[in-house]
Amino acid sequence: MSFHQVDGVRRVLIASANPLFGRGLERLIHQQWKGRQFEIRVVATMEETLLLLESWLPDLVILDYDDRSLDRKRFMDLFISGNRAMQVMLVSLHESGSVVVYDRRILTPSQAENWLSLPGSLDSQPRTSGKERVSTMKHFAIAGFLVIVSTFVVNYLLNTIRILPLQASAQAQPIDRLFNLQFMLIAFFFSLIVVFLGYSLVVFRQRSKEGEEEGAYIKGSTGLEVVWTIIPIGIVIYLSYLGSLALAETRRVDPQAVEVKVVAGQWFWRFEYPQYGIVSNALYLPVNRQAHLRLTSLDVIHSFWVPEFRVKQDALPGENLERELRVTPTMIGEFKVRCAELCGTSHAYMESPVVVVSQADFEAWISEQLAAIGTDPATRGAKWAQTNGCLSCHSVDGSPGVGPTWKGLFGRTDHELADGSVVAVDEAYLKTAIVNPNAQIVKGFPANVMPGNYQSLLSEQQINDIIEYIKTLR
């Protein structure tokens, strides 16, 4: 390192309120400049620094970059008022013992003003000319315009690919508004990052290696950190407010709602209309009238979900764990209810039709269902078996299933159980198999598969009807 010297002696001034900083640098200089003539002075205050700058005239000034007590503006004013060039360094010592030199150069008074206006100083904003400010604003204006254009293009593309399914309920409207706002925010932040990155790569790329110079060192910006903290917090609070409005709409109570009890099981849906005494494996709903769904499960956790309605609710096993969901269909048509909770091997096939009809057609369907119940016990039993999910485990044509086939079951005298005993299949055995399925496990079939709460879900007449239906499957 070479610099101006007076009387053949190099004069080094180290300014830092941290004594370890001064001693550390002093030791390094002694190690590096063995055999050379130099003089080092370490000062801890700004007053001492300014005094020595005027009286001692150092050749090299080393400022502690991390020392906030050093008023760099006062140093700059004094330096500019002089007419002698000196070498100046900003240095930071790390805990690892390494030395970081942020800048090192010979400064003239005309160069000092911009160089000393670094982040962390009292005068932290570099002084720029009017032309530079105009050029900067021009770049920001162009990039901002491109961000706006890109935001609308990306948002248009997101809406074109139809991320959301058809909107078919009143509850879907506030939910979709929230989704659309989030899509717009996604498009904006994506554009904000990509446009500024791309614009910088194109406009500010290095066109040649000539005239290379060091860029400004930016350590941090408290104002920027405050802004990018407050704005996201505000966005989250606003989205939470909109989400609360959407939740309130999905929970709005209509006293004229149609009551439907939804029973889920592996792997079927059953829909009961207690007001009419109807049980169906398809969910029929009148348009523009709220449906109050009360959900429960026979075995594991299931989740009721019609994508076009947007809303979703779990069905939990247990007597006191009934959940509720309110939905108001706004479009006549056929949809599907799906299970949105992984519930076993046939989870993917756990679907049932959802039919939305006019109020007149809904009343006509109610009349048809009441007439279809009829007076024949076996016919009723076939309906109860279908709507209660019995046929999802027991076949009626002899094909294997989760449980024993019902074909040819009644009247057998060689029905072998898991414990090796043999029983006759009569009405008493079938009733026990329905209300207490784990009392007599059939050989070759697993235990604890069939729900044990059918006695509370089915009436005595319905159980007898199912037994009469099994009798016909000879």
Q: pLDDT tens digits, residue range 288-314?
A: 999 999 999 988 999 999 999 999 999
Residue 299 has what pLDDT? 86
Q: Which of 159-173, 203-217, 264-278 has the lowest mean pLDDT?
A: 203-217
Residue 236 has what pLDDT? 92
- State the pLDDT confidence band at 7, using cuts at 50, 70 and 90: low
Residue 54 has what pLDDT? 80
- State the pLDDT confidence band at 331, using cuts at 50, 70 and 90: very high
Residue 284 has what pLDDT? 94
Residue 193 has what pLDDT? 93
Residue 97 has what pLDDT? 52
- State the pLDDT confidence band at 237, using cuts at 50, 70 and 90: very high
pLDDT at 46 over 50: yes
- State the pLDDT confidence band at 118, using cuts at 50, 70 and 90: very low
Residue 113 has what pLDDT? 47
pLDDT at 122 over 50: no
Summarize the confidence of residues 160-164 as an average pLDDT.
85
Residue 102 has what pLDDT? 54
pTM of the predicted structure, to 2 decimals:
0.54
* Measured distance CA(470)–CA(103) in Å, rounded: 93
pLDDT at 125 over 70: no
Residue 214 has what pLDDT? 58
- Name which residue leads in pLDDT, 431 or 132: 431
Residue 224 has what pLDDT? 83
Is 63 in contact with 91 (CB distance < 8 Å)?
yes
Residue 112 has what pLDDT? 47
390-442 pLDDT, tens digit per residue, is: 887 888 888 888 888 888 888 888 888 888 888 888 888 888 888 888 888 88
Summarize the confidence of residues 314-325 as an average pLDDT.
88
Q: How far apart are the first and last CA of the chain?
A: 106
Q: Which of 99-103, 152-156, 246-250, 437-441 has the lowest mean pLDDT?
A: 99-103
For all residues of the chain together, what is the average pLDDT? Answer: 81
